[in-house]
Every structure is written in C-alpha cells, then in structure tokens.
Amino acid sequence: MGSKKKIRSFQKISIVGPCTLKLKELFGKVAKYAFGFFLMYALCNVSHFLLKPYSQPRITSDTVIGLLIGNIGFIRNQVTDSASKTLNFIVDFGMICYMFVLGIEMNPYILFKEPTKDAKVAYGGMLSTFILACAITPFMHFTEGFKVDLTLSLSTVLSSTASPVLTRLITSLKIGKSDIGQLVIAAGMHADFVTTLLLSIGYVFCPIESGNKVVETSKRVRRSIEMGSALVIQTLFAAYVSPFFMNWVNNENPEGKPIKGSHLVLALAFMALVISCSPIYGYSPVLSAFMAGTFLPREGRVSKWVVGKINYLLTTIFYPIFFFWMGYEAVFKDFRPGQFGTWGRLFVVFAIATIGKVTGTVISGKLLGFNWPESVALGLLLTTKGHFHIYLAIAAKTAGKTSTSTSTVMVIAIFFTVVHAPSVVAQIIKRARKRVPTHRMSLQLLDPSSELRILLCLNGPQNVCTTINFIEISRGTADPGILVYVTDMIELTDEIAATLVKEEGVDTMTVTHAGVKEMRDQVTTAVQAYVGESGEGITLRRLLALSTFNGLPQDICILAEDSMVALIILPFHKVQREDGTLDNGHSGFRYVNRKVLKNAPCSVGILVDRGLGLIEKLRRTYDHSVSVAVIFIGGKDDREALAYAGRVARHSGVKLTVIRFLVDASSEAATRPGNYTVSSSEKEEEMKLDDECFASFYERHVSCGQVAYMEKHLANSAETYTTLRALDGQYSLIIVGRGERVNSVLTFGMNDWQQCPELGPIGDVLSGSDFSAITSVLIIQENSLKGQLDGLDDDFSIM
C-alpha cells in the first residue's frame, strides 16, 4: 500500500511539472518584453526631455534611441524569431491605425478646386524633387540593376512631407498662427496627401510584396485588376455610403451625452470592414487604411473620438515599439561604413530631398511674389519626413527590394530632414523681428530716449482735474517728453446711437449727440488750457472709445495697440463722495477695468482718486508740496510700479518716498514653507530680478538724495496689513504693483478677503472704504511681452 501511494504521488508530480515550467517560461517572456517596453518608453521620454531645450521634435530623440537600443547585441539576442514576427505584426497594425488617422485628417476634394498658394508651393516642391530623384537615383545602385518601380516609389517618397510631424513641430515652435506657419502646414498636408495617394495608386500596379519573385505578366495584370477594382469599390463605398451610417450614429449620440457602447462598437466594426475590403485581394492594409480614412466623414463625434483615442495610443504605446523595431531592422553591422558608396547614397538621398524641395519652393515663391529667404525656409521645412517614411524604408528591405545598408541609409537621411527644422524656424523668427515693427509695451523696457506714451481714460468732466495733475507728475523731463492720449470712455446707448452720422467715403462715424459733444468740449478745453500754459514737453491727443460696456475693453485695447502706448490709466469704478468715502461703484466700468487688465497689450494702471484732482496747480517748484510713496515688495508688477515712480521722482514738486517691505529673517514665518504656486528656481529668479531692479533705482534716485528710502521688516501678512494701515493720511498718492503673481509670505492669504481682486492684495487694502479719505492709489500691472515669441506677435506676417 505504501509503495502504491508513493507511485501515485510521483505520477502527480510528473504531470504537474511540465505545466509549471511552461507557465514560468510564459510569464518570464511576458515580464522580459514588458520590461523592455517600459525601458524603451522611459529612454524615449528622457532623451526627449534632454533635447527639449534645443526644440527638437520627439521623432528625433525616438530615432536616436531606437537605433542605439535596437543594435545592442545583448538586446538583439533576446528577440526570438517568434518575437520578431509578433513585433512585425504589431508595427503593421500600428501603421494601419496611423495611416487611418492621417487619411481622416485629409480633404480629398481639394484636388478638384483651383490651386491655392499652399497647393502651388507644394506642387512646386514635389515636382522638382521628383524630377531630380528620377534623374539621379538610377545611378546610385540602390538595388541590383535598374528597377522602374523602386525608382518611381523612391522619387515619390522623397517628394513627400510628413504633415503630422511638420504640423506638430510648427505648433510647438509657436509660429503656427503666422502667415508662413499656416502656409507651410497647409503645403505640407497637401504634399503628404498627394504623394501618399500616388503611392496608394501605384501599389496597384507594383505591389511591394512581390519582392524579387518572377511573376507572369498575365497573373500580374489579373492581380492588379482585382486590387484596383476592390480599391475603387472600397473608395466609393466609403465616400457615398459611409456618411449615411456615420451621420446616423452621430445623430443618435449628440454632444453632451456619452456615446452609447453599442453604437461605438458598430461604428468601429464598420470602419474595420471598410478598411479590410481591398486587402482581401492582396492590397496593402496600410495604404487601404489611408484610402478608407480619406473618404470617411471627418466631422462628427465618432470620427473625433477615434482620432483622439488612436493618437493617444500611438504616442504612449506604439511609437516606443515602432522605433525599437526600426533599430532592430536597421542593423549597423550591415551598414558598411567603410564603403564610399554607403556615404554617397546617404548624401545623395538627403541632397535630393533638400535641393529638390528648395528649388521648387523658390521657383513657386518667385511666381507668387515671396521673398527668397522665406521661400528657402519653406523648402527646408517641407523636406520633413516622418514615421510612414521610416516604415517604407524598412519595408523595402524586408521585401527584398533594397539591402540593409540602403535601408539604414534612408532612415538616417530621414533623421537629418527633421533635425534642422528648429534652426530654420529660429531664422524665420529672427527675420520677422527685423522686418515686423515690434513695440515692447512696458515701462521697464521703455527706451529712456523715447517719449512716454500713455492712454489716459476718463469717464467725464469730473475726472479732468485728476487727469491734469496725473499728466503733470508723469511728464518727466521736457526731452524726450510725454505723449498723452486723453480718451473719453462713453457707453453707447440707443439715444447716442441714433445721433451717429456716417461720413461719406470714410469708414468713420461722427457723434452729434449734444451731451457727448458738450462733455468732450469741456474736457478738451480744460486739458488744452493746461498744456498751453505749462505743457513744455507734453503732446496731447484726443481719442474716443464709444461702445457698449461689452465692447469698450476691446476698443480700448485696440486704441492702445494702434497708439503704441506703454501704459493705460483707467479710473476706478468707485467715486469718492462728499464725506470722503467711496460709493458702491459702477458695475459696467468695473467690467471694463477687469477685461482691460486681462487683455491689454501694455501695462495698465487703475487710479483710485481720493482728492488727487483737488491739489491746486502742481508746478515745477522745489517745495516738494506733494508727498508720494511707492511700495515695493517684489514681483514684476512692483518692478513696473517702481519704473513709473522713477518718472514721478523727476518732478521737483513731488516728494517721493520708496518703502520696501522685506521679510524679517529672524521671524518664524520667514522659515516656514508656504503653499506657493511657483518653484524654488522661479522664485530665486524673481528675487534676483527684484534685487537688480531695486539696486538700479536706488543708485539713480536714492543715493543722490532725490528720493527718500524706508525699509519695513515684516514677518507675515498680518504685519503687512498693520503697516499699510499706518500709512493712513501720510501721502497724497501711493503707487503699488497689483502683485497678483507675487508668492510672498508678506501677502500670503490676503487674496482670500479682497473686495476688489482686480486691485491686488495691497491695492485692495489701500482703496478700502475704511482707509484714508485723502490718499489716492495707483495700482499698476505690467504686461507680458506681446505674443509668445519674445516681443513678436505670434500671428506675425512675413510672407
């Protein structure tokens, strides 16, 4: 009995053992390949991060990592034959998805329209590159003997442009809104569509799967007829039948509601059915996906959902696998670097793609009236190749059309067509800055030899005295002087609109409303009298912003941009009563102030008037009759306020005091970490700018005794509030920065109880109803450089 039990237990172990080993082997392979994927994913992202300062697109870093990792001997030995086949299947499926999305983004009906500028540029670059490639490639021995199909295919590929890569590159480099950016994106998409369409049609006659096999002419013709017929039927079905089904799905799933699962499955199955029609008869699934996507409806929730999901999967999962596959197939040991022909082919491929495109774009640009530097830049950008071209280079080797050396040469040449693009864009921006007039509308950046331009807004005659005194203390020296655009802000009512008269032949309106004319005449008379009496160095202009409250902010910003002013001054929406307190304010003008602060092309100041206009005739005497203070805590708004205070300091009738709030280093709050929204490096950079700005101001104004200086060492925002309250009644005007972006312990938490957030934490305290009735406040916000290109509009025009 005991022996039988032993035998039975032994038999059980012998049965379980192979299963356990198989599972261990399976899990081991899964873990190995999963680790390889995550390693590739991490390396691609790290390399992209390292190259980001050089503005290189992701495809450049991915290509480098793919070529390096794919050629490491240890890693190549881990890829078995079955794993290699699986890798090929994954890449083929990923390229099907890639080409399907590319097709959806194309508009096939542009071929039937009159060619636009971008189409002419695209055709010029394609035609010249195609002719050059057809003339040179047969002599470069890319294959054994002359092959028409490979020559035509290679010439077409060299003529094309990778529009997804180019579009992403132009957008990331922030010239997508400019005229040259929009032109190159449109031309790239046109070239990409036409060349891929030609490859799709040419595949019917010269299928790449045939390799080096000798196929009878009759079989070749019959196969081409079958593939061509299937492709035509698929295209017609996608163009004329699919819209009915896709529109039904979209109508059943309106915006705002989740797409029904059953409808989504049906839509995906329908798309897969359309794509798989022609491949049944031997057509390329990758090109079939492009043709199906091209003629499927682009609009609608389903198409947008599919594009978004596929793009996400391509970026996160497919591209690391794809570039590893590329490196695995492009074997360096077969590259033959010792042969002159290898480097010759590399140079010729790159030269054809570059010279051909540039020649075509220069010729077409000459006909269209472009400047030749921009035409050259267009050609260099249109040489950009991408993922599909890499896939074709490897597929040609896999099918036996080219050698591994030639395939690797093409991959390296594709890399060089992309890597130069950021430098080309940098030259475009450099030329744009020289040609396009730019104005850095900020007081800190104002050239001392240039006049100060101010757009001074007022609501009516009640602001005239304040306007005059503000001009007086801001005037600076007579040379270079000040240019003031005194602008009336008037709400456009039905009564006023009925009195507008359009002048003949001029796109302007004349206001004939008696009340408006009388008010403007009063303001004009008073300000002109002041300028005539003591206006040396002051140039006066009169403007009118007449619109509804919704339109006034835009009108003011347009006037500021057209006038190239450095500072807009807006009256506070609250007006001082006779008892010294402020009223509840006008909601319409508060809306205007907020919108102007958000969208202004220059720095903005909001003036809280508490008797600034009551000061009797400020003159350039040396009695320092008016006390003005500027509070400096830190941040770009405070630096802008300090820059304005520098002009006020030049007025001999003003006694200016600069009060700097510093963190008390010995306090507990100074060392306590705060909940700040900026990184430590950004904070250090801001502090460095603050110190440099204040040191410059101190050297120019304080050290010579022109301006008084005071320091306040504070521990927290509570002490800041107490110190501000102590300034009650000491000054006629206090200048502060809005300071919304200042993450300082001295203002931390003050935003939580602001009554007027548009004034910032310090300005809100000083303009409160319980503060002094004789102290006016000027809150200044600095504007960032226009656009995203360091002083250049991102929608600049250079063509």
Model pLDDT for residues 349-360, shown as the tens digit of each residue: 889 999 999 999
101-158 per-position pLDDT tens digit:
999 988 888 888 888 888 999 999 999 999 998 888 887 766 665 577 788 888 898 9
| Domain limit, last residue, from 367, 401, 433 | 433
Q: Which helix (H) or strand (E) holds 654?
A: strand 654-663
Residue 15 has pLDDT above 90, yes or no: no
Task: Say whether both 420 and 484 belong to one domain.
Answer: no
Buried residues in 92-114 as b, exposed as e (16+ CB within 10 A)? eebbbbbbbbbbbbbeeebeeee
Please state the domain count of the chain.
2
What integer pLDDT is reported at residue 189 of this predicted model?
92
CB-CB contact of 480 with 449 (8 Å): yes
Least confident of 123-127, 173-177, 519-523, 666-670: 666-670
Q: Which helix (H) or strand (E) holds 770?
A: none
The partner residues of 263 in beta bridges, in order of sequence, read none
Let me know if residue 268 belongs to a domain: no
Rounded to whole angstroms, the Cα distance separating 668 from 674 reads: 12
Least confident of 399-403, 672-676, 718-722, 791-795: 672-676
Angle between the N-to-C axes of helices 179-205 and 217-236, in degrees from 0 to 180, rounded to the nearest 10: 130
Q: pTM for the whole thing?
A: 0.65
384-405 per-position pLDDT tens digit:
999 999 999 898 888 877 888 8
212 Cβ neighbours under 8 A, 6+ residues apart: 400
φ/ψ of residue 383, rounded to 5: -75, -10
More confident site: 676 or 721: 721
Residue 624 has pLDDT above 70, yes or no: no
Cis check: omega of the bond before 480, within 30 degrees of 0: yes
Residue 798 has pLDDT above 60, yes or no: yes
Mean pLDDT on 59-73: 90
Rounded to whole angstroms, the Cα distance separating 257 from 737 reads: 46
The partner residues of 546 in beta bridges, in order of sequence, read 490
What integer pLDDT is reported at residue 197 of this predicted model?
92
607-623 per-position pLDDT tens digit:
988 888 777 666 655 56
183-205 per-position pLDDT tens digit:
999 999 999 999 999 999 988 88
> Which of 142-146, 431-435, 671-675, 686-690 has maximum average pLDDT?
686-690
- Give the residue carrying structure tokens 């379980």: 16
CB-CB contact of 301 with 40 (8 Å): no
Let me know if residue 261 belongs to a domain: no
| C-alpha dihedral sign at 427, 431, 437, 442 | positive
Task: Say whether both 313 and 361 belong to one domain.
Answer: yes
Least confident of 463-472, 491-500, 714-723, 778-787: 778-787
| Domain limit, last residue, from 384, 407, 433 | 433
What integer pLDDT is reported at residue 206 of this predicted model?
77
More confident site: 340 or 764: 764
138 Cβ neighbours under 8 A, 6+ residues apart: 146, 151
Mean pLDDT on 631-658: 87
Residue 779: how many CB atoms within 10 A of its CB?
A: 29
734-759 per-position pLDDT tens digit:
999 887 555 577 777 777 777 888 88
CATH of the domain at 379: 1.20.1530.20
Rounded to whole angstroms, the Cα distance separating 149 from 396 reads: 12
The partner residues of 632 in beta bridges, in order of sequence, read 660
Task: Say whether both 549 and 624 belong to one domain.
Answer: yes
Least confident of 390-394, 453-457, 530-534: 530-534
Let me know if residue 136 belongs to a domain: yes
Rounded to whole angstroms, the Cα distance separating 412 from 416 reads: 6
Residue 425 has pLDDT above 80, yes or no: yes
Residue 12 has pLDDT above 60, yes or no: no
SS3 for 298-364 is: CCCHHHHHHHHHHHHHHHHHHHHHHHHHHHHHCCHHHCCCCCHHHHHHHHHHHHHHHHHHHHHHHHH
Let me know if residue 320 belongs to a domain: yes
Mean pLDDT on 625-651: 87
CB-CB contact of 184 with 166 (8 Å): yes
Task: Say whether both 132 and 178 belong to one domain.
Answer: yes
Residue 9 has pLDDT above 50, yes or no: no
C-alpha distance from residue 782 to each of 175, 738, 740 (Å):
25, 8, 11
What integer pLDDT is reported at residue 612 of this predicted model?
81
Mean pLDDT on 328-348: 81
Let me know if residue 253 belongs to a domain: no
Residue 787 has pLDDT above 50, yes or no: no
Residue 17 has pLDDT above 80, yes or no: no
Average pLDDT, the chain: 82
Classify residue 554 as exposed, middle or buried by CB count within 10 Å of its CB (0-12, 13-18, 19+): middle
Q: Fill in the DSSP letter of residue 370.
A: -
What integer pLDDT is reported at residue 664 of this predicted model?
78
Helix, strand, coil abundance in the chain, percent, nearest 5: 60, 10, 30
Residue 372 has pLDDT above 60, yes or no: yes
More confident site: 541 or 444: 541
Task: Say whether both 422 and 449 belong to one domain.
Answer: no
Tell me the DSSP string of 45-76: HHHHHHHGGGT--HHHHHHHHHHHHTT-HHHH
Residue 97 has pLDDT above 70, yes or no: yes
Taking phi over 0 as left and psi of -120 to 50 as alpha, with beta for the rest, 216 belongs to beta
More confident site: 361 or 53: 361
Mean pLDDT on 694-715: 87
Task: Say whether both 454 and 341 belong to one domain.
Answer: no
627 Cβ neighbours under 8 A, 6+ residues apart: 654, 655, 657, 730, 731, 732, 733
Query: Measuring CA to CA, which residue among 90, 478, 509, 492 is closest to residue 322?
Result: 90
Rounded to whole angstroms, the Cα distance separating 74 from 82 reads: 17
Encoded tokens for 217:
């002419």
Encoded tokens for 791:
């002083």
What integer pLDDT is reported at residue 506 of this predicted model?
47
Share of the chain above pLDDT 70, in %: 87
CATH of the domain at 622: 3.40.50.12370
Task: Say whether both 451 and 422 belong to one domain.
Answer: no
Let me know if residue 378 belongs to a domain: yes
Task: Say whether both 418 and 456 belong to one domain.
Answer: no
What integer pLDDT is reported at residue 685 of this predicted model?
79
Task: Say whether both 556 and 650 belong to one domain.
Answer: yes
Task: Say whether both 45 and 87 belong to one domain.
Answer: yes
What integer pLDDT is reported at residue 391 of this predicted model?
92
Task: Say whether both 555 and 520 belong to one domain.
Answer: yes
Let me know if residue 275 belongs to a domain: no
Domain that holds residue 342: 18-212+302-433
What integer pLDDT is reported at residue 675 of this predicted model?
46
The partner residues of 518 in beta bridges, in order of sequence, read none
pLDDT range class, residue 497, cuts 50, 70, 90: confident
Task: Say whether both 364 and 461 belong to one domain.
Answer: no
What integer pLDDT is reported at residue 793 of this predicted model?
60
| Domain limit, last residue, from 371, 405, 433 | 433
Let me know if residue 744 belongs to a domain: yes
Rounded to whole angstroms, the Cα distance separating 528 from 274 reads: 76
Share of the chain above pLDDT 90, in %: 19
